[in-house]
């Protein structure tokens, strides 16, 4: 399979970085979009893709840089000359909230018909910590702490991808969770890790200066993404694989 980063930035990154969304291409050529932020219309096009090229989409959590392009994606596939529904994978509570709190306002009333999420997507909700299989690739959801306050938690759900001969972990948005990452590094060949590089630490993302404290053996498996440009860091000197650049592809056996 191939993992392509169509963007590597965050909500606050430079316009040309695009948001951190990825396209997984299975050996047979089918494509799964991991998160669909408000930049996706542009980032997909810059990578030579359009909604018609996609087979499925996974949603990690409900921030705009991960779901802001879903209304466009839903309408593009629904009103296509060849209408079809992409498969939508997400943790089950995230999927319910995605419709009720984010998409319903723009997608509920279309012409004379009252629409639901399943009118646009083939829903495939997954239990927290559960698995799904797409194109012979097994995906395991891992709850990642992102934002919590007295009103509740806004977790993200990272993904462990198990292909033929490789295990890849994508954190999606997460705070710094060193014990979890050290444990994950024992079984994963590569880790793509959320990495904040801004001078102001939001504490809802792992910051580079926190990630730098991980053991060398763990850092040697980590590629950093979801960063802000103009930072002073040198990942190779600190033992990381590096910062993923926009458009970078990873071939996985
Ligand atoms: Zn987020």
pLDDT of residue 152: 72
CA of 182 to the centre of ligand 1 (A): 22
Mean pLDDT split into 10-residue runs, the chain, 253 residues? 97 90 97 97 97 98 97 96 96 97 95 92 98 98 90 89 94 98 97 96 96 98 96 97 98 89
Residue 226 CA to ligand 1 center (angstroms) comes to 10
Q: What residues contact 161, with CB distance under 8 A and at least 6 apart?
A: 1, 24, 137, 138, 139, 167, 168, 169, 170, 252
- Collapsed DSSP state (helix, strand, coil) of residue 95: helix
The domains of the chain are located at: 2-251
Q: What spacing in Å lies between the alpha carbon of 63 and ligand 1's midpoint?
A: 5
Task: Tell me, in angstroms, the distance from the centre of ligand 1 to residue 153's CA.
Answer: 12
Euclidean distance between CA atoms 226 and 22, whole angstroms: 11
Provide the pLDDT for residue 253: 81
Neighbours of ion ligand 1 (CB under 5 A): 63, 173
Residue 10 and residue 226 in contact, taking contact as beta carbons nearer than 8 Å: yes
Q: Ligand 1 centroid vs 146 CA: distance in angstroms?
A: 7
Structural contact between residues 200 and 224, judged by C-beta atoms closer than 8 angstroms: no
Give the distance (Å) from ligand 1 centre to CA of residue 82: 33
Cα Rg of the chain, angstroms = 18
What integer pLDDT is reported at residue 185 of this predicted model?
Answer: 98
What is the distance in A from the centroid of ligand 1 to the CA of 4? 20
Say whether domain 2-251 belongs to CATH 2.60.40.1170.
Answer: no
Centre of ligand 1 from the C-alpha of residue 219, in Å: 23
> What is the value of pTM for the model shown?
0.96
């Amino acid at each position: 399979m191939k993992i392509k980063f169509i963007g590597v930035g965050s909500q606050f990154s430079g316009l040309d970085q695009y948001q951190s969304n990825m396209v997984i291409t299975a050996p047979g050529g089918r494509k799964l979009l991991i998160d669909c932020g408000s930049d996706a219309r542009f980032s997909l096009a810059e990578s030579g893709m359009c909604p018609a090229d996609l087979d499925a989409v996974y949603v990690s959590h409900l921030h705009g840089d991960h779901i802001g392009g879903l209304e466009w994606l839903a309408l593009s596939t629904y009103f296509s000359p060849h209408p079809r529904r992409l498969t939508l994978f997400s943790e089950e509570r995230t999927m319910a909230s995605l419709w009720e709190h984010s998409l319903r306002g723009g997608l509920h009333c279309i012409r004379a018909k009252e629409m639901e999420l399943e009118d646009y997507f083939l829903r495939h909700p997954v239990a927290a910590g559960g698995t799904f299989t797409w194109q012979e690739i097994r995906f395991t959801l891992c709850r990642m702490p992102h934002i919590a306050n007295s009103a509740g938690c806004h977790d993200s759900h990272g993904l462990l991808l198990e292909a033929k001969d490789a295990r890849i972990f994508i954190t999606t948005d997460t705070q710094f969770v060193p014990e979890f990452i050290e444990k994950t590094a024992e079984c994963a060949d590569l880790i793509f890790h959320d990495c904040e590089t801004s001078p102001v630490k939001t504490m809802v993302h792992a910051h580079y200066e926190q990630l730098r404290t991980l053991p060398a053996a763990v850092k040697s498996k980590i590629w950093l993404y979801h960063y802000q440009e103009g930072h002073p860091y040198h990942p190779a000197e600190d033992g990381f694989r590096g910062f993923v650049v926009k458009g970078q592809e990873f071939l996985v056996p």
